[in-house]
Every structure is written in C-alpha cells, then in structure tokens.
Amino acid sequence: MNSINVMPAISNRPVRVAIVGSGPSGFYAADTLLKSDQDVVVDMYDRLPTPFGLVRGGVAPDHPKIKNVIKVYEGIAKNEAFGFFGNVNVGDDLSVEELRRFYDAVLFSCGAETDRRLEIPGVDLAGSHTATEFVGWYNGHPDYRQRSFDLTQEVAVVIGQGNVAVDVTRILAKTVDELKDTDVAQHSLDALAESKVKEVHMIGRRGPVQAAFTSKEIREMGELVDADLVFNNLADFDLNPASQAELDDAGNTDAQRNWKVLEELRAAGEPAGKSRRVVVHFFASPKELQGTSRIESLVLEKNQLAGDPGNQWAEGTGQTSEMDCGLFFRSVGYRGVAIPGVPFDEKRGVFPNERGRITDGGSVMAGMYAAGWIKRGPSGVIGTNKPDSVESAQMLLEDAPSLEACAEPDSAAVTDLLKSRDVRVVSYADWQRIDAAEVERGAAVGKPREKFTTVEEMLALL
C-alpha cells in the first residue's frame, strides 16, 4: 500500500512569517499580520543595518514631514512578536530555501532597487548618472557613499517628471542655506556648496497634463530662494483634444491640481534674475548624449501625443535640437532585482503574483508572498503601499491554516546560523543605538541627524 505524504500543519505555536525588506510595504504588512486574530510572529530582514527603506534613503532631506511616518513604523516594531534582522542579505547571507526552514511563510517587500535603463547612444559617458545614485548620495545611503558628481558643470539635465526627478532638480537648484538644517549627508552638503551648476533642465516626454509629479512638488519649484522657474515653451500648454478631455475628467484630480499650480507658475511673470534657472520642458525625449571623454551636449527629439484620453503616448516627430549638457540624470523608472529561489518577471521587474501570492508559471507557490513595488511595480507614494500590503498580508492569513509547518521554528537558530557565517545581525535595539548616535551627531551641528554613511561605521558603533 502506498503511503500518502501529508504536510505537517502548524499547531500549538504562532505562525512564523519572515518579511524581506523593511520599507513602508514591509511595515504595513507586519502591522496587518500582528493585529490579526491569528497568533503570528514576524521577523523582518533588511540587507542594511537600518530599517525604513526609501523613507530613510529616498525621501528628500528638505521634506522632513514625509519622514514623520517613521513614528508609525516605530510603533509597529514595539510589538513583542516583532523582530528585526538587519545587515542580512537574503539570497546571499541566507538563501530563500534556508529561510523556509525557519518560517512558515515568507513575504517579500524588497522594493525596486535598480533603475530602468535608458537606451540611447552615449548614456554611459562620464557625467551621465541615474537619479537613484544622486538621491542615495545626498541621503547618505551606504550603496552610494563613494559616488561623485561633477558639479563644476554649469548645465545639468534631468530626464523624467516624476517626484524623484523633481527632487533631483530641486536639490541641484537649492542654496546651501536652504539645505544646511536638514539631514542631508555632510559629504553631499560640502560638495553642493561648491556647485557651479547654473541651469537645471527637467525634461518630460509627454505634456503638462500627463506629468507624474504631485502638485506640492511642482509648487516648491516656484519657491526656490535663488533659482527662477521658467517653461521652455509656453505653447506646450495649448492642449490637444485628448489632453483637454483628460483634464476635464472629474476623476483625474491629480492632473487638475497639477494644472492649477502650473497655471499659477506660468502666470507669475518674468524671471526675477536669480543666479540659477530651472527650465521645465514638455514633449521632448533624449535621443543621444554627445561628447568625447565625457558628455558635452544632448540631442532632443520633439514629441507629439497620440492615442485616446487616459492612454496617450509620446511619438517622435523627427524634429531634433541640441543643447549643452555637462551633467545628466535619468529618472525613467525603477525595477526590482531578482533573488535566487524566487520567480522573477524580467519584463516588468517584479515577482509574478496573484493579489500578493507569488506564482511560478501561473501556479501559486505555497507560503510565498509579495507586497509593495516588488509586487506591483514602482508606482504611487508611501501611502499607496498600505492597501497593497494589507491585501498581501490578508492572503497570507487566509492561507495560514493550510501552510506547511517549517522544520525549525526558532529565530535564535537563524541568528546562530548567521553568526557561524560571520554575519553580524543588527537587532532593532542595535538600530535604536545607531539612531540615537545619529541624532546626537546632528544636534552638534544644528541638524536633525547626521547619518552614518557606511555599514562599517554602524557596526563599529555597535
């Protein structure tokens, strides 16, 4: 008689969940799990010793109010059933297969860690950078501490019109006095103090109605102390019928708010003669970066819109122009990074899933989940992650009765395994020590904090 393999059920103990990634989506998922009627233990993993993901490493230093959401995450971390495993790179220090040995379910909330590539000639010339590099550099992210940017150039170009592109443009255009009281990394502040950048061009391939920035972000561009905001071509505000229909759509409130602010900025009158200029371009795409040893100029192609309202795309007209360009930042979107042992959709840069349940060839993988940008792609703001993460956590809770019990339900055993591999696990209490030291360092120089910008510095403190 053939024996039947029956999965061991989870009994007489909490459901053990590992969350990989400690940004907003990870914390919102943890909150849903820990507040549920089921008994759940959550261990959160991050490859850095510091939690909070892009709230710490991506939000611009001159937007401190946005970072207040960290207080919510700190509250979640106080739950006795929550653990933090910082400085652990899942897929490297610990394989996904090994993680499954210690946890009944794994939820990936590891975001979109790399940039979509801009495929144009010259994109790899010196002076061409991703927006991610610059954002990480001024935010003190350890991955980008050693980057350098040639700020002796007078003309900088930022490709893209999402909030990240606006952040990069704004930081390049601000004075040191506007930044010195923020938590901007000191190495960046010192470099920006010597900046020779006079013009920053922010270029979008579609029109003002389709721009992806928020009204708050674009309004700030008109409030810069020593930089005038100008529009490259006022005729870009003459809308085609499809764009007018998009703007008139009662549900398109974001575009309506943006349009109102853009109209106010357009009507503000002549530039005041400040020492820098921010120039906003619509309907243009980069075609080529030119130069010998480094970039010297940019070739742009004029675009026109095609398609129906709500689904318009940019088409090149064949009409090109050339402009000086010494520093080039591309902000054309993010994509996720594959982790060994997890299916990956190369085209979309996400883990394939159905409502958060990770799939392989269309079949659901038991006990494997995704939330946030690695689930849906890079879209929305911090708050967008909450309903997304709640959905994924609810799928996990729904599946909990049928999950296969892990072989070794013991967090201390994970720590021991990592210790045997010379991995220094940073606990949440360890992070609190790093946090306190950063705040103390900042207070000494009149800043909210002065971040440690290398992992070595953080571990040395501990």
- CA separation for the pair 82, 30 (Å, rounded): 8
Residues 188 and 47 in one domain: no
Residues 190 and 315 in one domain: yes
Q: Residue 333: its pLDDT value, please?
A: 84
Residue 452 lies inside a defined structural domain of this protein: no
357-366 residue pLDDT tens? 999 999 999 9
Residues 148 and 252 in one domain: yes
Alpha-carbon radius of gyration of the chain: 24
Rounding to the nearest 10 degrees, give the CA dihedral for residues 382, 137, 109, 337.
130
Residues 140 and 218 in one domain: yes
427-454 residue pLDDT tens? 999 999 999 999 999 999 999 999 999 9
Last residue of a domain, one of 280, 314, 332: 332
Residue 456 lies inside a defined structural domain of this protein: no
At 166, the amino acid letter reads V
Percent of residues, the chain, with pLDDT higher than 70: 98
Question: Which range of residues forms the domain containing residue 357?
Answer: 15-113+335-426
Residue 1 lies inside a defined structural domain of this protein: no
Q: Residue 2: its pLDDT value, please?
A: 41
Residues 290 and 306 in one domain: yes
Question: Which residues, at least 6 apart from 109, have a Cβ–Cβ distance to it below 8 Å?
Answer: 19, 20, 21, 22, 23, 25, 26, 29, 370, 371, 372, 374, 375, 389
Residues 134 and 95 in one domain: no
Residues 138 and 259 in one domain: yes
153 closest CA partner among 35, 328, 394, 369: 328
Average pLDDT over residues 199-224: 97
Residues 208 and 132 in one domain: yes
Q: Residue 5: its pLDDT value, please?
A: 41
Q: Return the biggest CA–CA distance within the chain.
A: 90
First-to-last C-alpha distance (Å) of the chain: 59
For residue 232, what is the domain's CATH number? 3.50.50.60
pTM, to two decimals: 0.94
398-413 residue pLDDT tens? 999 999 999 999 999 9
Q: Residue 138: its pLDDT value, please?
A: 98
Q: Tell me the pLDDT of the chain averaged across its residues.
A: 95
Q: Residue 10: its pLDDT value, please?
A: 80
Residues 123 and 267 in one domain: yes
Residue 123 lies inside a defined structural domain of this protein: yes
Average pLDDT over residues 129-138: 96
302-347 residue pLDDT tens? 999 999 999 999 999 999 999 999 999 999 888 899 999 999 999 9
How many folded domains does the chain comprise? 2
1-28 residue pLDDT tens? 343 344 566 878 999 999 999 999 999 9
For residue 358, what is the domain's CATH number? 3.40.50.720
Residues 269 and 209 in one domain: yes
Residues 148 and 254 in one domain: yes
Residue 141 lies inside a defined structural domain of this protein: yes
CB atoms within 10 A of CB 186: 17
Residues 270 and 224 in one domain: yes
